[in-house]
Amino acid sequence: MKRQVDKALVLVGGSGTRLRPFTYSITKQLLPIANKPVLFYILEKVRALGVREIGLVVSAPHAKETIRIVGDGSRWDARFTYLVQEEPRGLADTVRISREFLGSSSFLMVLGDNVYGFDFAGIVADFLAHPCDGLLVTQRVEEPTRYGIVVVQPDGSVKSVVEKPSEALSDLALLGIYIFSPEIHRVMDSISPSDRGELELTNAVMGVIKAGRMVRHFSGEHPQGPRVHRRGLPHSEGHPGSLRLHWSGDFH
């Protein structure tokens, strides 16, 4: 069977405490940029790939309001499945609770609190062109210890992934876009909570690597990759969980 990416998982959880008072009534993913919620830009880019089956992971306190605002997907000619994360247990937990929805599909996973000024077609094409079980989109940063960091081999394969390392092991930071094959599900039951009590996606990725599977990275410096700059809202820059704007060229 020809490999394809036919489902997407978009994360819409998080209380956005660093963006208060703006997020008292809505999640940070629904904050408007140019009169449109941040999340809507991502949904448009996912649909541009031809992906119609989209899972939206929402936090329990904001689930009802998010469903009311976003709807069932018909606005984008898509089918939305809402997956409620009862507690903020980490990014790997969002994959764990989505296992039934994802099934045996390879899937695109996107953090819903970013605006990306590039489409995702090149990322998906790279995943399909090079056999692997994970593709991590990265960008070079000046302060690696503030982000999830990817250490790569000369051939572009991922050697390790570390969440906020104490020393700069690499300057390639995770950008919040991933593609995984169903292999990611095999390691979910074997990872343990981190010191902050969360199931870290970085640990899940390391589980895939330790199982002998190939994980690659797709960098902003890739010839067909995103040309991006990292920016933050006032008082939020540098926090991986805060709303970040990424763009290249003109923003329409």
Contacts for 137 with CB less than 8 Å, ≥ 6 apart = 123, 174, 175, 176, 177, 178, 217, 218, 219, 225, 226
Q: Residue 240 has what pLDDT?
A: 39
The conformational region for residue 71 under phi > 0 = left, psi -120 to 50 = alpha, else beta, is left
In the prediction, which pLDDT does 14 show? 58
222 is a domain residue: yes
Where in the sequence is the domain holding 105, given as residue range(s)?
Answer: 5-246
144-147 contacts, C-beta under 8 A, 24 or more apart: 144/168, 144/169, 144/170, 144/171, 144/172, 144/173, 146/238, 146/239, 146/240, 147/173, 147/174, 147/240
User: Which pLDDT belongs to residue 117?
Assistant: 82
Question: How close are the terminal C-alpha atoms of the chain, in Å?
Answer: 38
252, part of any domain: no
**CATH number reported for the structural domain that contains residue 186 in this entry:** 3.90.550.10
The confidence score (pLDDT) of residue 224 equals 44
pLDDT tens, N- to C-terminus, the chain (252 residues):
568 999 999 999 755 444 444 444 567 778 777 888 889 999 999 999 999 999 999 999 889 989 999 999 999 999 999 999 999 899 999 999 999 999 999 999 999 988 788 899 999 999 999 999 999 999 999 999 999 999 999 988 999 999 888 898 899 999 999 999 999 999 999 999 998 889 999 999 999 999 999 999 998 554 444 444 333 333 333 333 333 444 333 333
| Domain count for the chain | 1
